[in-house]
Structure 1
Amino acid sequence: MTAHPPPAAAGNRSQPDPRPSSSKGAHTSPTVDVHAHVLIPEVEALVAGLPGLAEARALDARRNGSAALAVSGPMVAERIPRLTDVAVRLAAMDAQGVDVQLVSPSPSHYHYWADEETAEKVYRLANEATAAHCAQAPGRLHGLGLVPLQHPESAVRALELAVGMGLLGVEISSHAQGRELSDPAYEPFWTRAEETGAILFLHPFGCTLDERLDQWYLSNTVGQPAENAVALSHLIFSGVLDRHPELKVIAAHGGGYLPTHIGRSDHAWSARSDAGAGCAHLPSSYLKRLYFDSLVHDPQVLRALIGAAGADRVLLGSDFPFDMGTEDPVGALRAARLPDDHFHAVRGANATTLLRLT
């Protein structure tokens, strides 16, 4: 394995550039962060006071707990410039040694409680605002839009709108109320996403374990990885990935618990007729059809993720600029002490190919 030097201090450009350099191949690709967010105040103004919003926020409060909300409010407020101001974003990217961000709306903008008319207004506004944000830095910022998972019949239209605006795809949560990603109602959406080559960024928001996780920020630290694992399992075991082998799904947070615990899924598929009824191959084989960001907060877990999915299936991710992300994504990647070719693949070469940046 190739040992890499310690990362440069974030924000100090007098330090050595954290981006390794080489003269050929993947080593010269840009550093690409596929997990970064934009906040769109206009979306929240649109839904303010509408029926359903208060109930959704009350559920969110129950799931997270009062202590978490007391921390999260000031945290987001402090980061609003980085979430909304392109110049501030670019300065932060420069300090991190990141050349390109794939920018998705804050998951708080999903609003899957909304009726069909409101949902259309939400996704149109979110897609327009994200496209406009990224257009201020062409080449450095690329965007993802939203679709209303609660209204599967509208998802294709929303996806086509996003792609038509120049966005590279859409961000989706792990489920909508009453619907898992295995729901047959989503088949037209998967079909169109496959046809267009759109990126689908799977980023959970909220966990259905509810009040069991309302202390110590378990709603995020346990809830998000659990939601990732459940959602990916629905895609795998239901046969969605068999029927749509060219889907381009990026799972946030390293795919949660699933990639490093996939052996249990393989055993169930082999040992039980009910577990193996929906998909054609061992569950672990589908990891190589998916993509995962590198945001796992542990170099050993990152190495295990790469071992399970392959170095060509992991992409740099930071969750910019939230506190559950990393301020130094390249340094976090370097800490895993990967072989040089794997390091550069994850740093940017994989994303450069997937997002068709060249």
Structure 2
Amino acid sequence: MTPSPLTVDVHAHVLLPEIEALVEGTAGLAEARALDARRNGPAALAVSGPMVRERIPKLTDAQARLSAMDAQGVDVQLVSPSPSHYHYWADQETAAKLSRLANEATAAHCAAAPDRLRGLGLVPLQHPGQMADALEHALEQGLLGVEISSHAPGRELSDPAYEPFWDRAERTGALLFLHPFGCTLDERLDRWYLSNTVGQPTENAVALSHLIFSGVLDRHPGLKLIAAHGGGYLPTHIGRSDHAWSARSDAGAGCAHLPSSYLRRLWFDSLVHDPHVLRELVRSVGADRVLLGSDFPFDMGSEDPVGALRAAHLSDADFHAVRGANAAALLDLA
């Protein structure tokens, strides 16, 4: 692949105060906040609050974002709403308003620099019947697709109720960014920020496994899905999935091919925080399936995503593919 002149970061977030204003005082919000507090624990919340507050300019002001991108050597960001805006507890009416508002607000943020900022919207994962229309609304705003979590309350991504959404995403060519928020291991992870360091890669692995083993990727081979955090634990431990598929009738019943083969139908960001793991990710899924990601501007992200990529000592061709060429092709950047 010819080296792209662009450096493209596919994992960057925007904070939308309008969303929190919309849900304030709504039935269910207090319970959701209490669950989030239990899952994270008091020590994590004490750190996260000030961390987010000091980053609000980069999260909300396009010029502050662009200045930070310049300092990182990033030309283009794919901007998605903070996962804290999912609010999958919301009723149908609130959820419909929320997705439309998120789509419109993200599009407005990106419109400040359309040559450098591309956006993703939200869909109500808790209400499958609304998702296809919410995706269409996001595309109508000029967004490239939507961001989803690893599950909604009572629903895994293998749920048949999501089939119309997968179909619409495949037919439109929309991008789907799989970014977990909240791990169902709950209070087991409420110390030392295990809710994030263990919870996020666990949720990525579970969600991707549901998509693979249920046959979603057989039925919708054209889905354009990017997994955050390098896909979590799954790509580097996919051999266990392959063994189960081959050795057990229950594991192999839902999908047509070895689980590892489906990894080359997906895309993965580079945010794994270890050059050796990044090299293994590239080996497992192919250099053409890895995209630069930073989790801008949160503290669990990388302030120097290109430097982190360089530390993996990939070949020149693979380095430039991950730095920007893969994303430029996927996002159809000129």
Q: One fold, TM greater than 0.5?
A: yes
Identity of aligned residues (%): 82
CA distance in 2, matches of 1:40, 1:138: 18
Cα deviations by residue, 1:4-54 (Å, 9 ceiling, x for unpaired): xxxxxxxxxxxxxxxxxxxxx632430000000000001001100111000
Structure-2 residue corresponding to 1:4: none
Root-mean-square deviation (CA, aligned residues, Å) is 0.5
Amino acid at match of 1:282: L
Structure 1 residue ranges, 4+ long, deviating more than 2 angstroms after superposition: 25-29
Structure-2 residue corresponding to 1:290: 266
Alignment partner of 1:302 out of 268, 275, 278: 278
Secondary structure of the equivalent of 2:177? strand
Q: Any conservation in 1 of the 2:59–2:65 contact (CA below 8 Å)?
A: yes
TM-score, normalised with respect to structure 1: 0.93
Q: Any conservation in 1 of the 2:4–2:328 contact (CA below 8 Å)?
A: no
Q: Any conservation in 1 of the 2:125–2:148 contact (CA below 8 Å)?
A: yes
For 1:238-249, list aligned pairs within 5 A.
238-249=214-225
Amino acid at match of 2:329: T
Structure-2 residue corresponding to 1:198: 174
Alignment partner of 1:339 out of 295, 315, 322: 315
CA distance in 1, matches of 2:190, 2:2: 43
Q: Any conservation in 2 of the 1:29–1:352 contact (CA below 8 Å)?
A: no
How many residue pairs match? The answer is 334
Structure-1 residue corresponding to 2:56: 80
Secondary structure of the equivalent of 1:33? strand
Amino acid at match of 2:250: D
Structure-2 residue corresponding to 1:37: 13
Structure-2 residue corresponding to 1:210: 186
Secondary structure of the equivalent of 1:219? helix
Q: Do residues 62 (structure 1) and 38 (structure 2) align? A: yes
CA distance in 2, matches of 1:181, 1:32: 28
CA distance in 2, matches of 1:356, 1:283: 28
Structure-2 residue corresponding to 1:19: none
Structure-2 residue corresponding to 1:48: 24
Q: Do residues 163 (structure 1) and 139 (structure 2) align? A: yes
Amino acid at match of 1:269: W
CA distance in 1, matches of 2:244, 2:4: 43
Structure-1 residue corresponding to 2:79: 103
Amino acid at match of 1:166: G
List runs of 5+ in structure 2 lacking aligned partners. none
Distance apart, 1:285 and its partner CA: 0.3
Distance apart, 1:244 and its partner CA: 0.3
List runs of 5+ in structure 1 lacking aligned partners. 1-24
Structure-2 residue corresponding to 1:148: 124
Q: Any conservation in 2 of the 1:237–1:279 contact (CA below 8 Å)?
A: yes
Cα deviations by residue, 1:211-240 (Å, 9 ceiling, x for unpaired): 000000000000000000000000000000
Secondary structure of the equivalent of 2:12? strand
